[in-house]
Amino acid sequence: MLRLGLLGHPVAHSLSPAMHAFALESLGLEGTYEALDTPPEGLPERLAEARRAFRGVNLTLPLKEAALAHLDWISPEAKGIGAVNTVLRVEGRLFGFNTDAPGFLEALRAGGIPLRGPALVLGAGGAGRAVAFALKGAGLEVWVWNRTLERALALAEEFGLRAVPLERAREARLLINATRVGLEDPAASPLPAELFPEEGAAVDLVYRPLWTRFLREAKERGLKVQTGLPMLAWQGALAFRIWTGLFPDPSGMEEAARRALGEA
């Protein structure tokens, strides 16, 4: 029996159990994917449990960075980003991966969002780091903006990017909201409407609500847009492949997440 799970805090409203239930069922596998609420101080004990009883786990806020210290091996990508979102157990050893970065790129490709720079990443937190790493790796010119300037400057130096003021958004061809602005607040956007460029694309990593103000205004401006669900589905599908060697349909996982979100 395939035992999978999600560690994070909080995890009660996570869409991952619904996505992975679809993956298990559609591939005819018997297994479970449990959401296990894990505050940071409970992480060592949970990972010890994972070593004994789980094929693999996902990690979410606030554990993605802290987990690095507890694993036996970390992929170069996860090391570069400084965050692990997928753990695989093989013979009692724990291997750490990051599927957020490749999941983000695959979601863009699948959605027909052109990989054209300059790309402006709004936010230098965990998600901003993964997205900036992915875009830089794909060869784009990447700019970063963050509310706390020091954090943007530190990320720019670490990854070889440019930290820019928000006004430079007008010149970007790909805008990514990797801040928490808009999360559970349909009236909030990280970018004033007048700063959207005249052409290009905008992606919001926030998916609750699905149609954030950032995306609505980008669409009104005529930009191509993508919600946070395709990336969520792709990072999940890539994690599932790491655990099982089988690749579930990301569109089916996205639909399962959409239903769980109440947006069917």
Ligand X SMILES: NC(=O)c1ccc[n+]([C@@H]2O[C@H](COP(=O)([O-])OP(=O)(O)OC[C@H]3O[C@@H](n4cnc5c(N)ncnc54)[C@H](OP(=O)(O)O)[C@@H]3O)[C@@H](O)[C@H]2O)c1
Subset of residues 79 to 98 that bind ligand X, contact rule: CB under 6 A: none
Nearer to ligand X, 3 or 147 (CB): 147
Q: State how far the Cα of 109 lies from the Cα of 8, in Å rounded to an integer.
A: 29
CB of 229 to ligand X, least distance (A): 7
CB of 184 to ligand X, least distance (A): 9
> Is the four-CA dihedral 182, 187, 193, 197 of positive or negative sign?
positive
Task: Tell whether residue 120 is a contact of ligand X (CB under 6 A).
Answer: no
CB of 190 to ligand X, least distance (A): 5
The length of the chain, given as a count of residues: 264
Instruction: Please identify, among the stretches 12-20, 38-46, 140-148, 193-201, the one whose residues bind ligand X according to the rule CB under 6 A.
Output: 140-148
Residue bearing tokens 């937190």:
125
Count CB neighbours of 120 within 10 A: 29
Task: Tell whether residue 29 is a contact of ligand X (CB under 6 A).
Answer: no
What's the Cα-to-Cα distance from 21 to each of 18, 57, 139, 240, rounded to whole Å?
5, 14, 35, 11
Cβ atoms of 45 and 37 within 8 Å: the answer is: no
Residue nearest to ligand X (CB): 125
CB of 66 to ligand X, least distance (A): 12
Task: Tell whether residue 183 is a contact of ligand X (CB under 6 A).
Answer: yes
Nearer to ligand X, 51 or 261 (CB): 261
Task: Tell whether residue 155 is a contact of ligand X (CB under 6 A).
Answer: no
Q: Residue 228, class by beta-carbon neighbours within 10 Å (0-12 exposed, 13-18 middle, 19+ buried)?
A: buried
Size of the site for ligand X (CB under 6 A): 25
CB of 91 to ligand X, least distance (A): 30
Binding residue for ligand X, selected from 38, 58, 98, 235, defined by CB under 6 A: 235
Q: Are strands 56-59 and 86-90 parallel, antiparallel or unpaired?
A: antiparallel
The residues with which 33 forms a beta bridge, in sequence order, are 4
Q: In what order do the strands lie in the sheet with 86-90?
A: 31-37, 2-8, 56-59, 86-90, 93-97, 73-74
Binding residue for ligand X, selected from 6, 134, 206, 237, defined by CB under 6 A: 206
- Containing H/E element for 77? helix 76-81
Binding residue for ligand X, selected from 23, 175, 178, 201, defined by CB under 6 A: 178
Task: Tell whether residue 128 is a contact of ligand X (CB under 6 A).
Answer: yes
Binding residue for ligand X, selected from 14, 16, 38, 146, defined by CB under 6 A: 146
Cβ atoms of 182 and 203 within 8 Å: the answer is: no
Residue 219 annotated as catalytic = no
Residues within the interface to ligand X (CB under 6 A): 61, 100, 123-128, 146-148, 151, 178-181, 183, 190, 205-207, 228, 231-232, 235
Q: Which residues are catalytic?
A: 64
